[in-house]
Structure 1
Amino acid sequence: MTLEAMMTGTDRSSEVATDGGRVQLAIADLTSTLTNDFDLPAMLHSVAEHARVCFGASTVVVLLLDRRAPGRGVVHIVAEAASEGHSVDPRFHTSGPGLMSASESAVAMVDDLAHADDTRWPEYRERATAAGLRGMRAFPVSALGVPLGSIVVHTEDPWGDARPRSFGQILADLTAIGLASGTVDGRRLSTSDAVDSVLRGSATIAAAVGILTEYLRLEPDIARLRLNRLARARGLTVTAQARMIVDAHNSSPGDLERTGVLSPANVSSARLIGRD
């Protein structure tokens, strides 16, 4: 099942698949991606969406450590996925157990955020429980012993024993492989340069999604899908397409359609989502 099918509901195969079946589909999709040329930011969003589906999560984020920032322990969200009715709040993803996991390259586990006997990360726990979240896992992303980031998963029920046990760390390890071998804007980079480039590109993608959300009156997930489709139709990376949209908005903020950035170079038979 493709990422697009999961986001739009056009593929119903997951409804009859077991949890193990979902996990196998996710691993097969990501390993197939890693054996071809791929756009790293897009791959990271696939990781987040697969984690959301397979864990039955409320929110999933991919965090990367920002080694450019002064001091230590600064992380940024570079990919995210949220189920209906939930949104990603950076305040409890970039602090507490997520930050610890990314910085110390360690798994963080909270079975039930409402459990009074667990007093770790009190400010984080207050915010997370106020948002209706109960369970949490953070899986470290590292390469050659160097911490790179973390995949942080939140659920609206206590974590329990039914969720896949090793899948989260498999996703984190595949993410590390992607950072070591992927391309950004068509360029192959070292792992550290790839992280820096993704951190810069994620801000551009977020800005472009926000522009599409407002201009086309779309939900953020659908705006991101529209961005992905435009990039694919033009033969561009998502980052490059996002940069074009941001530049067009800066030059013609009230008339994006006139700039041509919302029209694919080659119109496919599939109708683009949003105002055409």
Structure 2
Amino acid sequence: MVPPFDDRQRDRSSEPLPDSIQLLRSLVRAVDSLASDFDVVELCQQLLEACTEVTGATDAGLLLADQRGELQVLASTNESARLLGLLQYEGPSLDAYRSRTAVSAPDLRADGALWPEFAHAAAAAGYLCAYAVPLRLHRDSIGALTGLAGSAAALGQLDLRIGQILADIAAIGIAQHVLRAQDATIQAQLPTALNTRVAIEQAKGVLAERGDQDMDRAFQIMREYARGTGRRLTDIAGDIVEGRIDLRADAAE
């Protein structure tokens, strides 16, 4: 027998969801986007946002190795210069990438000897805990996903496992994005994804200057416009730089 409908349960969409359901929703969205001609940067942004929603991370970043094996930021939860610079210090990201295993520092004040410059810069930026997991693709590591928290011991083993799941999906998405030619290899084509980020950085600078906005707000305006029009961030970035679209009105709001 079907129970009677309770009008009080008509709309619970505004209630916070348990972390497990939030994670499942994020994974479903990510897998769904992989089935179409997706935007690789937007996919990574969504995975990083999921990381901060379902783990103790305050901020997160995804870094991709270039042809020299140096890590470059592809996406981050915050576009501030301080966070982008911090992610590229010699620290957990590089260790996870090179070792192809997860690394963590529950308390950067106590574990600072591992990465002294990173620990000092992280503390100055308000982060006391960090972890990083590799972007794994078969037997290769192509980058790292790094989570940062403002309080010590905020990130545990469960956070590492969730971070690794998100990183694995990001690696699959990046591989699908760059392997356009039949005989291409991941290492040869990774600059394609990094060039996407370069174009977006240029557009952020143009939009920030035109609208007197900080870089983080400029990036959010671009993402909102991309979602509203159904276009790729890369294409919108090119239009901004070339002056084909003007989002200053949006930036001023």
TM range (shorter): 0.7 to 0.9
Matched, 1:179 2:174: yes
Look up the SS of the partner of 1:182 in the other structure. Answer: helix
Question: Is the 1:76–1:94 contact (alpha carbons within 8 Å) kept by the matching residues of 2?
Answer: no
Normalization by structure 2: what TM-score? 0.81
Aligned to 2:220: 225
Look up the SS of the partner of 2:108 in the other structure. Answer: coil
Look up the SS of the partner of 1:196 in the other structure. Answer: helix
More off after superposition, 129-138 vs 236-245: 236-245
Q: CA deviation at 1:51?
A: 1.5
Aligned to 1:102: 97
1:213–1:129 CA distance, 2 compared to 1 (3 A): same
Aligned to 1:8: none
Question: Is the 2:89–2:117 contact (alpha carbons within 8 Å) kept by the matching residues of 1?
Answer: no
Q: What count of residue pairs does the alignment treat as equivalent? A: 238
Query: Which residues of 2 match residues 195-274 of structure 1 at below 5 A?
Result: 195-232=190-227, 236-248=231-243, 260-262=244-246, 273-274=250-251
Pick aligned residue for 2:144 from 125, 147, 150:
150
Distance 1:132 1:23 in 2: 26
Aligned to 1:75: 71
State the one-letter code of the partner of 1:138. A
Consecutive unaligned residues of structure 1, counting only runs of 5 or more, are 1-11, 249-259, 264-271
Pick aligned residue for 1:170 from 157, 165, 168:
165
Distance 2:16 2:227 in 1: 30
1:233–1:156 CA distance, 2 compared to 1 (3 A): closer
Q: CA deviation at 1:238?
A: 1.0
Q: CA deviation at 1:172?
A: 0.8
Aligned to 1:44: 44
Look up the SS of the partner of 2:63 in the other structure. Answer: strand
Look up the SS of the partner of 1:119 in the other structure. Answer: helix
Q: CA deviation at 1:165?
A: 4.6
Give CA deviations for 1:231-267 in whole Å, capped at 9, x if unaligned: 455554211221222233xxxxxxxxxxx4126xxxx
1:162–1:180 CA distance, 2 compared to 1 (3 A): closer
Matched, 1:20 2:20: yes
Q: CA deviation at 1:100?
A: 1.5
Look up the SS of the partner of 2:135 in the other structure. Answer: strand
Cα RMSD, aligned residues only: 3.0
Q: CA deviation at 1:66?
A: 0.8
Question: Is the 1:44–1:62 contact (alpha carbons within 8 Å) kept by the matching residues of 2?
Answer: yes
Look up the SS of the partner of 2:130 in the other structure. Answer: strand
1:37–1:159 CA distance, 2 compared to 1 (3 A): farther
Distance 1:211 1:182 in 2: 26
Normalization by structure 1: what TM-score? 0.75
More off after superposition, 25-34 vs 144-153: 25-34
Q: CA deviation at 1:45?
A: 1.8
Look up the SS of the partner of 2:64 in the other structure. Answer: strand
Q: CA deviation at 1:25?
A: 2.0
Matched, 1:137 2:123: no
Question: Is the 2:71–2:143 contact (alpha carbons within 8 Å) kept by the matching residues of 1?
Answer: yes
Matched, 1:88 2:83: yes
Q: CA deviation at 1:170?
A: 0.3
Aligned to 2:35: 35
Give CA deviations for 1:21-57 in whole Å, capped at 9, x if unaligned: 3222222221222233211122122222221222242
Question: Is the 2:64–2:143 contact (alpha carbons within 8 Å) kept by the matching residues of 1?
Answer: yes
Identity %: 25
